Amino acid sequence: MDSLKAKNIIITGASSGIGEALAIQAAKTGANIVLASRNISKLDELKKSLNNYDTTIITLSCDVTIASDCQNLIDTAIRELGSIDVLINNAGISMRASFEDINMDVLKEVMNVNFWGSVYCSKAAIPYLLKTKGSLVAVSSVTGFKGLPGRSGYAASKFAVNGFFESIRMEYMSRGLHTLISCPGFTASNIRVNALNAAGEQQAETPADESKMDTAESVALDILQAIRDRKDFMLTNKQGRIIFWMNKFFPKFVDKKIYQVIAAEPNSPIKK
């Protein structure tokens, strides 16, 4: 990770989960980091816990669904650090409800955070990333190439993220911009606890056994290594790789197996 030392890295959604783990691991490498989230108090606590590292840490309240907040995030990074080497679009929310029951505002909120938040931040950052031949990163999901029942809005947002960043990669491929689409598998974090239900409220509990999932720390290390190696695509989780390849050759079989798993969840949103 020595190549990330003294690099200027922006991380959205940095107050918990993969974003928090990315902040910790980036600080350990000696990178300068700008941490963005709607929860500024958690960011400040995180910054305090990282004070022992020889790095500059900036915290900023940012709602990625607001374009002006995203522009202010990038402007602040340039003003305080002088340049941007990496933007990690990590901010995201999930949902868990049947399509027939869900309030349409929930789908819009998920799309606004997961897709438009990445678009707004990337639009503001790309001119500066071109100057440093830096890295533009999307923290997507296995659900970005295989939809899940009961997660229609989340899958739609991640499919959109993947398509957008693939297009960006090709559009700027001759201009030195590195674009990484990282698709972690199921990760132990609070994204399922904070997932929105049909009414737009946090479900407050996870339906999955998180002890069998990847840790946020291991995923963060995978992402930083993929940035270091300037990879285009990251899919390191064994379960994710199985779904990715099986879906190419046996999509109906994968559909059936996923349906069975989701239908067996506690309080499953799947109606039989």
Instruction: Find out whether 165 and 136 touch, Cβ atoms under 8 Å.
Output: yes
Q: What is the pLDDT of residues 25-60, one digit of tens each?
A: 999 999 999 999 999 999 999 999 999 999 999 999
- Does residue 187 register a pLDDT over 80? no
pLDDT at residue number 189? 63
pLDDT above 70: residue 155: yes
Tokens for 193?
């606890």
Tokens of 102: 């869900």
> Would you say 81 and 129 are in contact if contact means Cβ atoms under 8 Å apart?
no
- When pLDDT is cut at 50, 70 and 90, the band that residue 161 belongs to is very high
pLDDT band for position 214 (cuts 50, 70, 90): confident
Helix ranges restricted to H, 147-271: 152-171, 216-228, 238-249, 251-263
- pLDDT of the residue at 237: 78
Q: CA-CA distance, 208 to 191, in Å (whole number)? A: 11
Residue from 53, 154, 172, 259 carrying the catalytic annotation: 154
Reported as a single tens digit per residue, the pLDDT across 77-127 is 999 999 999 999 999 999 999 999 999 999 999 999 999 999 999 999 999
C-alpha distance across the termini of the chain, in Å: 49
DSSP state of 29: H
When pLDDT is averaged across residues 132-159 and rounded to a whole number, the result is 96
pLDDT value at position 12? 98
Delineate the domains of the chain, giving CATH numbers in brackets. 2-263 (3.40.50.720)
Mean pLDDT, rounded, for 243-267: 93
Q: Is 154 a catalytic residue?
A: yes
Which amino acid is located at 140 in the chain?
S
Average pLDDT rounded to a whole number, residues 120-149: 96
Query: 53-57: long-range contacts (C-beta < 8 A, 24 or more apart)?
Result: 53/27, 53/28, 54/30, 55/27, 55/30, 55/31, 56/32, 56/80, 56/81, 57/27, 57/32, 57/33
Tell me what the pLDDT averaged over the chain comes to. 92
11-42 in b/e form (b: 16+ CB < 10 A) is bbbbbbbbbbbbbbbbbebebbbbbbbbeeeb
